[in-house]
Amino acid sequence: MTDRIRLFFRKDKEPYLCFYRILGFYPRNIELYKQALLHKSSSVKEKGRLLNNERLEFLGDAILDAIVADIVYKHFDGKREGFLTNTRSKIVQRETLNRVAVEIGLDKLIKYTTRQSSHNSYMCGNAFEALIGAIYLDRGYRACKKFMEERIINRYLNLEKVSRKEVNFKSRLIEWGQKYKFEINFELLDESLDKEQNPIFETQITVENIPAGRGKGYSKKESQQEASHKTLAMIKNNPRFIETIYTAKAEREQQASEKAEQTIPQQKEEAAIPTESAEEKTFAYEETESLQTKKTDSDTERIIAEAEEAAFLTEEKILKDNSEKK
């Protein structure tokens, strides 16, 4: 009621009414909400620094994780940690937040340059996180939770359906790798048993041989899904990791290029060596055969001559022996 009364005396009522339709309450510090909708491509300078929604997005991401974990924990009483983690992940993933942001009309309020919208498919989801950050700074945690429960989950998300929805993080990661030509490998690190003798698998993912996400699960698939989810989070939120894998990729491609350059001259040199024609090969074969035939004839003649000489010597020796006996 106090906020409504204050609004009555304001000249710029439209922005407050616009946010009221989305939030269900009037903003106290409307500048926070305006900043939440300011994409970095439309940053403004204030007190010597650029102002956009990235800092609020960072804060809202953490607050949203806590709120959704709180809601999911209380809604699914008795469910295991793995189930709760997966359900929370499905709610806070970029696709879900993007869709919700469009549903509540946030996409029409974001300020950005046209060229940025063509490839930034998660701009609306990022703005939604920034909005959560603005609510937290303006009204606190309880207001954030109430907004999520009453204005978002109850209207746009069915927790039971969401919990049963299969989100294939591994496929998304592989598709990303294929699109941007990164080498991605899944390595099974360990197989063990928990206290109840259930098998536990641990998977490590490497991108360009750089260690990325690591996950555990009660099946190889589950461990790969968790590792893929963590890797996707690193790709989105860790600039140092992104820089490292791009450097490794560039080095691999450079080595492949140098190897190809070394192979091409060798292939050209081999191609330059003249090859024998069919006639030349036939002539060579016939010449070889002729030489072999001549060699065979020569050998035969030599053997016959040696045999005749041996026979002559033997006969001469016999005559000599007979003559000596007489």
Tens digits of per-residue pLDDT, 93-137?
Answer: 888 999 999 999 998 999 887 554 434 557 899 999 999 999 999
Judge whether residue 229 has pLDDT over 60: yes
- Residue 243, domain CATH: 3.30.160.20
The verdict on 93 and 172 lying in the same domain is no
Task: At 278, list the tokens.
Answer: 């069919």
Judge whether residue 207 has pLDDT over 60: yes
The verdict on 137 and 178 lying in the same domain is no
Of 190, 198, 203, 199, give the one whose Cα is nearest residue 229: 203
pLDDT band at 43 (very low <50, low <70, confident <90, very high): confident
Is residue 208 domain-resident?
A: yes
Active-site annotation holder among 54, 103, 129, 321: 129
% of the chain with per-residue pLDDT over 90: 42
Strands (E), the chain: 44-46, 49-51, 184-193, 199-207, 210-217
Judge whether residue 40 has pLDDT over 80: yes
Q: Give ∠ CA 102-144-134 in degrees, rounded to 5.
A: 70
pLDDT given for residue 116 in this prediction: 47
pLDDT given for residue 83 in this prediction: 86
CA 287 to chain centroid, in Å, comes to: 63
% of the chain with per-residue pLDDT over 70: 73
pLDDT given for residue 265 in this prediction: 64
Do the beta carbons of residue 41 and residue 112 sit within 8 Å?
yes
pLDDT given for residue 291 in this prediction: 45
- Residue 97, domain CATH: 1.10.1520.10
Do the beta carbons of residue 40 and residue 54 sit within 8 Å?
yes
Is residue 97 domain-resident?
A: yes
Q: Tell me the average pLDDT across 258-268.
A: 73
pLDDT digit string (tens) for 147-202?
999 999 999 999 999 888 867 888 889 999 998 999 999 999 999 887 777 788 99
pTM for the predicted model, two decimal places? 0.54
The verdict on 133 and 263 lying in the same domain is no
The DSSP code for 214 is E
Q: Residue 306 to residues 295, 302, 312, 317, 319: CA-CA distances in angstroms?
A: 16, 6, 10, 16, 20
The verdict on 212 and 201 lying in the same domain is yes
Given 115, 144, 166, the domain boundary residue is 166
The verdict on 26 and 56 lying in the same domain is yes
Do the beta carbons of residue 216 and residue 226 sit within 8 Å?
yes
Is residue 137 domain-resident?
A: yes
Do the beta carbons of residue 164 and residue 91 sit within 8 Å?
no
pLDDT given for residue 244 in this prediction: 93
The range of the structural domain enclosing residue 63 comes to 1-166
| Sheet with 184-193: strands ordered across | 184-193, 199-207, 210-217
pLDDT given for residue 117 in this prediction: 45
Q: Is 61 a catalytic residue?
A: yes
Of 57, 16, 18, 17, give the one whose Cα is nearest residue 35: 57
Given 166, 184, 215, the domain boundary residue is 166
The verdict on 62 and 7 lying in the same domain is yes
The verdict on 147 and 11 lying in the same domain is yes
pLDDT given for residue 119 in this prediction: 41
The verdict on 158 and 123 lying in the same domain is yes
Is residue 128 domain-resident?
A: yes
pLDDT band at 268 (very low <50, low <70, confident <90, very high): low
Higher pLDDT, 20 or 297: 20
- φ and ψ of 264, to 5 deg: -60, -50
Q: Tell me the average pLDDT across 292-318.
A: 53
The verdict on 151 and 188 lying in the same domain is no
Given 112, 131, 166, the domain boundary residue is 166
Which helix (H) or strand (E) segment holds residue 315: the answer is: helix 278-325
CA distance linking residue 200 with residue 261, whole number of Å = 47
Task: At 100, list the tokens.
Answer: 């919700």
Judge whether residue 7 has pLDDT over 60: no
| Total domains present in the chain | 2
pLDDT given for residue 299 in this prediction: 56
The verdict on 105 and 186 lying in the same domain is no
Do the beta carbons of residue 192 and residue 200 sit within 8 Å?
yes
Q: Residue 17 to residues 14, 28, 38, 79, 245: CA-CA distances in angstroms?
A: 5, 12, 18, 41, 46
Higher pLDDT, 203 or 39: 203
Higher pLDDT, 256 or 203: 203
pLDDT band at 266 (very low <50, low <70, confident <90, very high): low
Active-site annotation holder among 14, 46, 57, 61: 61
pLDDT given for residue 284 in this prediction: 44
Mean pLDDT check: name the lowest of 46-50, 236-240, 251-255, 313-317.
313-317
- Exposed/middle/buried for residue 111 (C-beta within 10 Å: 0-12, 13-18, 19+): middle
pLDDT given for residue 168 in this prediction: 80
The verdict on 106 and 247 lying in the same domain is no
As a whole number, the mean pLDDT across the chain is 80
pLDDT given for residue 288 in this prediction: 47
Task: At 168, list the tokens.
Answer: 């294939």
Residues with Cβ within 8 Å of 222's Cβ and at least 6 positions away in sequence, in order, are 82, 201, 215
CA distance linking residue 102 with residue 214, whole number of Å = 33
CA distance linking residue 211 with residue 249, whole number of Å = 14
The verdict on 5 and 141 lying in the same domain is yes
pLDDT given for residue 221 in this prediction: 84
pLDDT given for residue 184 in this prediction: 95
Query: How would DSSP label each residue in 221-257?
Result: HHHHHHHHHHHHHHHHH-HHHHHHHHHHHHHHHHHHH
Do the beta carbons of residue 136 and residue 64 sit within 8 Å?
no
CA distance linking residue 248 with residue 208, whole number of Å = 6
Counting Cα atoms < 13 Å in the Cβ hemisphere of 97 gives 24
